[in-house]
Amino acid sequence: MTLTTIFLLLIGLIVFVFFGAFGLVSLSEGERRAKNISFGIAALGAMTFFLAASLPTSVQLVVLGVVLVAIVVGIILFFIPIGRVEVGNDLPNTRFDEREIMFVRARLKPGTLEYESYYAQHPEHKKSDERTREMPGLLSLDAKFANRYQFASMDGSFFLTHALREAVDGSVALERTKKTPEELTAFLKGLARYYGALDVGVTALQPYHLYSHIGRGTGEYGATIPVEHRYAVAFTVEMDFDMVGTAPKASISMETGKQYVEAARVAVQLAEVIRLLGFEARAHIDGNYRLIAPLVARDAGLGEIGRMSILMTPKQGPRVRLGVVTTTLELIPDHREPNAALIDFCNICKKCAVNCPSRSIPVDERQEYDGAMRWKIDPDTCFRYWNAVGTDCGRCMAVCPYSHPDNWAHNFIRWGIQRSGAFRRAALWLDDLFYGREPAEKAAPEWVRIE
């Protein structure tokens, strides 16, 4: 057996093992299209090289030459700075008023003082909000994707987060801990993970993190929110990959509700621990935030704000929910490194925008809003869609290439995406090939499919 024959057999074996293994991963993830393509490439690719190994040496040399050129070109492209983007300033100048957000506006009742005063100041929102109110509503049994059992599950979760609203704050122990900020930061991060958080980060609290006025939750509607705390602990909890894949059907809402509960539970526990150590602390949970959680989490080093205007983490992408605790306790902030590779990937990808049923996600590049470069979805049309179908949709989250599970196969792709513009473009092409430009919705697990 010649050296060229051995090389060709070896390449065939590598192709077979790599794509075969990827096929098995896809099988375990329930990705039928990716599984079929992987097994197809494993079989055909390996067979091509095995056949080439049986041909005359001159032909074998040509095949090996082509492979070598492809490898060299791939390596050169890997280091060429294609797609280099300037992140620019992404810190807003002013504080956002919580009364402006769609969840708060949707609750305004015609005839109330709050309703009259809000639309007197913001007549531009009235028509759009009235159209939204005409829809059946979130978790309404008249909505398009209504399912009594799945909606009841989400309502059960909302019931619990609502019950926890009063537990976000409390009295502070008189005796203060004497431990150093380093020791306490390490302890609280470890504790958050122990309680169930996935990633944890700390940031110095900035005025732009906080809403300017209360819109919902505990406290008086319209009251000014003071900047009292100095630090914030932000954390993520992971949403289940299979449940998210069913978006925009009701099972994703079950998962949303479940993870809001998890985030609220961890935040409430963590805030109470800090108060027992002698410092003020407040948990920020679903329906009772005083701040914009994605901005806090980003500045705590947990990820970047992507095209769909929410936090994207390096390993789970947008497939997370957030919790935050703010405090007067001095902590050591994490260093935030803006992720230009993610911005570049979002620039070329646009998969969320293509798949958004309400076309609420922009397809162009980032624009400047309030001094900060960012993408901004249309929250009105997005929320109106939720109210039409009854779920919180999440189709954008389900199709995002960053949402793939945290395993060796997808982490290899993420590693390349982070380092090379050429790899990002190849990775997007492969994602479209293996999963489809408009990926199919997944079926919910059997036990969820009760009608």
Q: Residues interacting with ligand SF4, by CB under 6 A?
A: 248, 306-308, 345-346, 349-352, 356-358, 360-361, 377, 382, 385, 393-396, 400-402
Decide whether 291 or 382 has the Cβ nearer to ligand SF4: 382
Decide whether 196 or 357 has the Cβ nearer to ligand SF4: 357
**How far apart (Å, rounded) are the C-alpha atoms in residues 286 and 289?**
7
Q: Are strands 231-238 and 320-327 parallel, antiparallel or unpaired?
A: antiparallel
For residue 106, give the nearest of 404, 392, 429, 336 by alpha carbon: 392
The nearest distance, CB 27 to ligand SF4, in angstroms, is: 24
Query: How big is the chain, counted in residues?
Result: 451
DSSP conformational letter for 313: B
Decide whether 292 or 393 has the Cβ nearer to ligand SF4: 393
The nearest distance, CB 240 to ligand SF4, in angstroms, is: 17
Decide whether 356 or 448 has the Cβ nearer to ligand SF4: 356
Phi, psi of 427 (to 5 degrees): -65, -40
Decide whether 195 or 385 has the Cβ nearer to ligand SF4: 385
**How far apart (Å, rounded) are the C-alpha atoms in residues 2 and 53?**
9
User: CA Rg, the chain, in Å?
Assistant: 25
**How far apart (Å, rounded) are the C-alpha atoms in residues 12 and 14?**
6
CA atoms within 13 A on the CB side of 85: 24
The nearest distance, CB 205 to ligand SF4, in angstroms, is: 26
The nearest distance, CB 367 to ligand SF4, in angstroms, is: 15
Phi, psi of 38 (to 5 degrees): -65, -50
The nearest distance, CB 143 to ligand SF4, in angstroms, is: 14
Decide whether 265 or 321 has the Cβ nearer to ligand SF4: 321
Q: Which amino acid does the sequence have at 250? A: A
Decide whether 250 or 346 has the Cβ nearer to ligand SF4: 346
Decide whether 104 or 352 has the Cβ nearer to ligand SF4: 352
- Collapsing DSSP to helix, strand or coil, 369 comes out as strand
Phi, psi of 438 (to 5 degrees): -125, 80
**How far apart (Å, rounded) are the C-alpha atoms in residues 118 and 100?**
9
The structure tokens listed for 163 are: 């019950």
**How far apart (Å, rounded) are the C-alpha atoms in residues 284 and 323?**
6
The nearest distance, CB 346 to ligand SF4, in angstroms, is: 3
**How far apart (Å, rounded) are the C-alpha atoms in residues 24 and 10?**
21
Decide whether 20 or 287 has the Cβ nearer to ligand SF4: 287
The nearest distance, CB 331 to ligand SF4, in angstroms, is: 30
**How far apart (Å, rounded) are the C-alpha atoms in residues 249 and 144?**
9
The nearest distance, CB 371 to ligand SF4, in angstroms, is: 22
The nearest distance, CB 392 to ligand SF4, in angstroms, is: 7
**How far apart (Å, rounded) are the C-alpha atoms in residues 324 and 289?**
9
